[in-house]
Structure 1
Amino acid sequence: MIRVLIADDEALMRAGIGLILANAPDVEVVAEAGDGPAAVRACREHEVDVALLDIRMPGGDGLAATGEISRLSPRTNVVVLTTFGEDRYVAEAMRAGATGFLLKDTGPADLVHAVRTAARGESVLAPQITRRLVERHLVPGDGAEDARRRVRELSPTERDVLRLVGTGASNAEIAAELFLGAGTVKAHLSRVLTRLGCANRVQAAIVAHEAGLLAEPPG
Structure 2
Amino acid sequence: MVSAHAADGTGTLISVLVIEDDAPTRWRIVDALSRGGEFDVAEAATVAEARQRLGAGDPDVLLTDLQLPDGNGMELIRDIRQRNQTTEIMVISILGDEQSVISAILLGANGYLLKDAFPADIADTVRDLMRGHSPISASIARFIVRRTQGKPGQARPSDLNTAKLTPREIDILWGIAKGFSYADIADHLGISRQTVPGYIKTIYRKLEVNTRGEAVFEALQQGLIRF
TM-score by length of 1: 0.55
Kindly report which structure 2 residues correspond to 1:8-47, keeping only aligned pairs within 5 A, or say none.
8-29=20-41, 31-47=42-58
Give, as a single letter, the amino acid of the residue that structure 1 aligns with 2:24. Answer: L
Deviations 1:138-160 (A, max 9, x none): 9775xxxxxxxxxxxxxxxxxxx
> 1:67 and 1:49 mapped to 2: Cα distance?
16
Q: Could you tell me which residue of structure 1 aligns to residue 115 of structure 2?
A: 104
Q: Which deviations, in whole Å up to 9, do the C-alpha atoms of 1:70-125 show, x marking residues without a partner?
A: 1124331110011223333211110111010012241331x222211222343112
Asked if the contact 2:96/2:140 (under 8 Å) is kept, the reply is no
Task: Name the counterpart of 1:74.
Answer: 85
More helix by share: 1
Separation in 2, partners of 1:120, 1:48: 16
Identity of matched residues, %: 30
Q: Mind listing any 5+ residue stretches in structure 2 that lack a counterpart?
A: 1-12, 150-155, 159-216
Aligned equivalents of 1:68, 1:140: Cα separation in 2: 32
Instruction: Note the 1:1-219 alignment, pairs <5 A.
Output: 1-29=13-41, 31-105=42-116, 106-109=118-121, 111-125=122-136, 129-130=140-141, 132-133=143-144, 135-136=146-147, 141=158, 210=221
* Offset at residue 41 of structure 1 (A): 4.4
C-alpha RMSD over aligned residues: 3.2
- Any conservation in 2 of the 1:36–1:65 contact (CA below 8 Å)? yes
| Aligned CA distance change for structure 1 residues 85 and 131 (closer, same or farther; 3 Å) | closer
Question: Counterpart of 2:33 in 1: which secondary structure?
Answer: helix
Question: 1:134, 1:128 → 2: CA distance?
Answer: 10
For residues 43 and 77 of structure 1, what CA distance do their matches in structure 2 show?
Answer: 14
* More deviation, 74-83/91-100: 74-83
3-state secondary structure, aligned to 1:74? coil
Would the aligned equivalents of 2:90 and 2:112 in 1 still touch at CA under 8 Å?
yes
4+ runs deviating over 3 angstroms: 126-132, 137-141
The aligned amino acid for 1:97 is G
Aligned to 1:168: none
Measured in 2, the distance between the counterparts of 1:118 and 1:45 equals 23
The number of residue pairs the alignment matches comes to 146
For 1:64 and 1:82, the matched residues in 2 are separated by 15
Higher-Rg member (1/2): 2
- Give the counterpart letter for 1:80 in structure 2: V
Take 1:102 and 1:127, find their aligned partners in 2: how far apart are those partners? 9
> CA 1:72 to 1:41, structure 2 compared with 1: closer, same or farther past 3 Å?
farther
Unaligned runs of at least 5 residues, structure 1: 142-205, 213-219
Structure 1 counterpart of 2:113, one-letter code: L
Question: SS in structure 2 opposite 1:32?
Answer: strand
One-letter identity of the residue aligned with 1:6: V
Question: By how many angstroms is 1:57 displaced?
Answer: 0.3
Identify which of structures 1 and 2 has the higher relative contact order when contacts are C-alpha pairs closer than 8 Å and 6+ apart: 1
Inter-partner Cα distance in structure 2 for 1:7 and 1:14: 7
